[in-house]
Amino acid sequence: MSVRLSSPDDYSKLLDDYDTWMFDCDGVLWRGDHLIEGVVEVLDILRSRKKKVIFVTNNATKSRKSYKGKFDQLGVEAHVDEIYGSAYASAVYLSSVIKLPKSKKVYVIGMGGLEEELREEGIAFTGGTDPADNTLEPFTLANFTLDPDIAAVVCGLDTGVNYTKLSKAFQYLTRNSGCHFIATNEDSTYPSANGLLPGAGAISAPLRYALGRDPVCTGKPASTMLDCVKAKVNFDPKRTIMIGDRLNTDILFGQNGGLATLLVLTGITQEAEITGPNPSPIVPDFVTETLGDLRIVERGQ
């Protein structure tokens, strides 16, 4: 059973118990282009109490650098080294886990942010934003030359997805022996400013279906993302809390990593999903309406 936070003491205890605060962004700090009320004050409270603040996002269309622009635009303090994205996690997975040899390349279905993270990790790639592959012209294998150096296909959210990219990726995954199949994240939908659109999981779905094979996913809830954070920052999982709005990504991610979890109701999850007659099997430790609720600890003093 989740603890529903309500009194000033509930929130004060949270501040006492956790030194590292990991946040999902969309649905927690903002919704589309709208900042959620009280978020700036709550982050100020945490920083003033010397809490470590980390932002963990499955958004794979932006690099950490350009994702910081979103914080700046909304007036939320954040530093690039506090931001961990699923595109970065894929790049680190390729460089550190698979240890892709320098002579090998990656075929990208994804956008500039994913390419930027690959470039920063020194990984060569083709596809992605290359105009040659961003086309609706008919694709034929008669004009295709298999590049034997492609050793992995990485899929992120790509609003330029098309049959040429899918067909090329399919060739590499079926014809280059041992070719890795990686997805930045498996979110079924993407919360745009004006409503839900198909998410990164929908972009890798055609390959998943055609191949009858699932990709390795580096975004939440996979622990690959937490491994990236661990490689860069020291923190005690027992004194770390993950705050998110999605049970099957954020909360499960926290639980997979042995972290405490706090669900906020400003995003995709309705309270009925945890208290209703058919509750989710994923039960967060704590629940609160909005991150802004934490302001009560200052008001109460």
Closest by alpha carbon to 241, among 227, 257, 265? Answer: 257
Q: Is 24 annotated as a binding residue?
A: yes
Contact between 160 and its own copies by CB under 8 A: the answer reads: yes
6 vs 174, beta carbon nearer its own copies: 174
Closest by alpha carbon to 259, among 10, 5, 22? Answer: 22
The correct pick among 13, 51, 52, 208 for binding its own copies (CB under 8 A) is 208
Which 242-281 positions form the footprint of its own copies (CB under 8 A)?
none
Does 16 qualify as catalytic in the annotation?
Answer: no
Contact between 174 and its own copies by CB under 8 A: the answer reads: yes
At a CB cut-off of 8 Å and minimum separation 6, what does 254 contact? 22, 241, 242, 244, 260, 261, 284
Do residues 270 and 295 make contact, with C-beta atoms less than 8 angstroms apart?
A: no
Q: Is 293 annotated as a binding residue?
A: no
Task: Considering the candidates 10, 16, 19, 26, report the single residue annotated as catalytic.
Answer: 26
The correct pick among 60, 89, 114, 166 for binding its own copies (CB under 8 A) is 166
The correct pick among 110, 201, 244, 267 for binding its own copies (CB under 8 A) is 201
Pick the piece of the chain touching its own copies (CB under 8 A) from 15-23, 169-177, 265-273, 277-285. Answer: 169-177
Does 26 qualify as catalytic in the annotation?
Answer: yes
Pick the piece of the chain touching its own copies (CB under 8 A) from 38-46, 185-193, 218-226, 277-285. Answer: 185-193
Task: Considering the candidates 19, 24, 81, 214, report the single residue annotated as catalytic.
Answer: 24
Pick the piece of the chain touching its own copies (CB under 8 A) from 15-23, 40-48, 196-204, 265-273. Answer: 196-204
- Give me the sign of the Cα torsion angle 247, 191, 68, 90: positive
The correct pick among 161, 251, 259, 274 for binding its own copies (CB under 8 A) is 161
Q: Is 187 annotated as a binding residue?
A: no
d(CA 46, CA 20): 9
Judged by the rule CB under 8 A, the positions of this chain that interact with its own copies are 134-136, 138-142, 158-163, 166-167, 170-171, 174, 188-189, 192-199, 201-203, 205-212
Known binding residues for Mg(2+) are 24, 26, 245
